[in-house]
Structure formats: C-alpha cells, structure tokens
Chain A
Amino acid sequence: DQQVKQNSPSLSVQEGRISILNCDYTNSMFDYFLWYKKYPAEGPTFLISISSIKDKNEDGRFTVFLNKSAKHLSLHIVPSQPGDSAVYFCAASDLANRDDKIIFGKGTRLHILP
C-alpha cells in the first residue's frame, strides 16, 4: 500500500510561472517530509524539507507547505525555470520513532515549457 502518493505523474508549466507539485500521505506517524529532484542518470538530489511542527518552509524559489490535518504537502516553485524540468519525488519519514529511512512517492515529472 502506497504510503506516499503523488497522483500526478506529470505536469507542464510555462517558464516563469508557478509550478505546484502535490503529495498526499497516509501514515499519520510521518513527521518529516522531503522533496527530492531527479535528473536522468543521476541519483535523487535533496531539495527541501519540512518538519511536522511547521506548516511552511521556504528556500529561495522553493516553498513547501504542509497541511497535517489533510495529510497533504505541496512544493511550489516560483518562478519556474528550464532547469527545473526533472522528476520530483515527495518523501516522508517517522523520525520520532527513530526511523530515518524515507518512503518515496512515485514521482511527478515536471516539464517547464519555453
């Protein structure tokens, strides 16, 4: 059973606009959430994270929002740039139970259109 769900396999966004990638999770024990970006032939690269004690974390063009009651998080990229075209994985872990491994969603392929 998929504990981390990314329901959009792909997303196309015009360059300069906002990209919003969504993620839902089912395990209420998750307390740490991450977004990874993956280019072809490379490993996932850590992008941004958020702890469950927060509802927003911002780092430059990237902002992650967490809605614990809805078990939903989203990644906003603004403005979107051509180099943002990649697969984005949402991931979660249960740090309170000392479980450092992260569980990935299936990923969303983001295409930034010129």
Chain B
Amino acid sequence: AAGVIQSPRHLIKEKRETATLKCYPIPRHDTVYWYQQGPGQDPQFLISFYEKMQSDKGSIPDRFSAQQFSDYHSELNMSSLELGDSALYFCASSLTGGGSPLHFGNGTRLTVT
C-alpha cells in the first residue's frame, strides 16, 4: 500500500540558509501534518493543512512556512536556518472524519552546520 513519501531523506544546510522539505500524502488523504522531532524529544506539532487550507498551527517558528498544493502534496519552507533547527521532520497524512489515525512518512533529517 502507498505510504507517505517525504523528500529528501537527509539534508545538510549551513546557518542562515533555506531549506524546503516535501511531503506526498497517501492518496485520498485530505489532511497533512508536519511534526518536528529534536534529539531525544517527542515529535512536536508544527502545522497542518486540510483541503489545501491551513487548519491548525503549533509551535512553528515565524521563519518557517508551509503550504499544501492542488495535488495535496505539501512543502515546509525553512529560512534563516539556525543550529537548533537540526531535527527530524515528519509529515503525516490522514483522512479527516474523526478517528482516522495519522500515517507518518519516514522523515527528513535536517542537519544545520
């Protein structure tokens, strides 16, 4: 069965650079979520989109932005990168309707040097 696809798997950037992470949800899933997991931390909710509209916002820095496109894929754009942005970034998708679990991709590991 098709899963959530994230690209790239690994990304190395320098401070103050920008990064773009991509997420392709499971077909027919209408909601996309972004999570950030720092070393030894639990995944922290960043932002979500339902039917291409932002539906919820968590602890996402102002330097980050995201959007969901007409084909339901989503991109997380990160600017002015800081060392503390080094983390695993997970995308998840679900079929909204109550009780549908989130399905996660394998994440993008971002390293900021």
List chain A positions with a Cβ less than 8 A from chain B: 4, 32, 34, 36, 41-46, 49, 51, 89, 95, 99-107
**Residue of A whose beta carbon sits closest to that of B46:** A101
Do A43 and B104 contact each other (CB < 8 Å), given the known contacts A100-B31, A100-B94? yes
Do A89 and B104 contact each other (CB < 8 Å), given the known contacts A100-B94, A101-B33? no
Beta-carbon contact of B33 and A95 below 8 Å: no
Beta-carbon contact of B45 and A103 below 8 Å: yes
Beta-carbon contact of A105 and B104 below 8 Å: no
Per the bound structure, the CA–CA distance linking A51 and B94 in Å amounts to 17
**Residue of A whose beta carbon sits closest to that of B45:** A101
Residues of B within 8 A of A102 (CB): 45, 102
How many residues of chain B are within 8 Å of chain A by beta carbon? 28
Beta-carbon contact of B106 and A42 below 8 Å: yes
Candidate in A49, A51, A95, A102 with the most chain B CB atoms within 10 angstroms: A102
* B24 touches A (CB below 8 Å): no
User: Which one, A4, A43, A103, A107, contacts B107 given CB within 8 A?
Assistant: A43
**Residue of B whose beta carbon sits closest to that of A44:** B104
Residues of B within 8 A of A42 (CB): 106-107
User: Which one, A4, A36, A45, A49, contacts B99 given CB within 8 A?
Assistant: A49
A33 to chain B, nearest CB (A): 11
* B27 touches A (CB below 8 Å): no
9 contacts between A and B (CB under 8 A): A34-B101, A43-B106, A44-B104, A46-B101, A95-B99, A100-B33, A101-B48, A101-B56, A103-B45
